Amino acid sequence: MHNVTLNNGVEMPILGFGVYQVPPEETEKVVTDALAAGYRSIDTAAAYGNEEAVGRAIRGIPRDELFITTKLWVQDNPAEENTRRAFDTSLRKLGLDHVDLYLIHQPYRDVHGQWRAMQDIHREGLARAVGVSNFHPDRLVDLIEHHDIVPAVNQIETHPFYQRTADQDLMRDRGVQIESWGPFAEGKNDLFTHPVLSEIGGAHGKSVAQVVLRWLIQRDVVVIPKSVRADRMAENLDVFDFALTDDQMARIADLDTGASQFFDHRDPGMTLQLGNHRLTD
Dihedral sign for Cα atoms in the order 246, 252, 257, 261: negative
147 labeled part of a ligand binding site: no
**CA atoms of 168 and 195, how far apart (whole Å):** 26
Please state at what angle helix 195-204 crosses helix 208-218, rounded to 10 degrees: 90
Residue 48 appears among annotated catalytic residues: yes
Say if CB 43 and CB 69 are below 8 A apart: yes
3-class DSSP string for 131-196 = EEECCCHHHHHHHHHCCCCCCCEEEEECECCECCHHHHHHHHHHCCEEEEECCCHHHHHHHHHCHH
Q: Which of 20, 39, 48, 108 is catalytic?
A: 48
Catalytic positions: 48
Q: Which residues are annotated as a binding site?
A: 105
Q: Which residues are annotated as a binding site for substrate?
A: 105
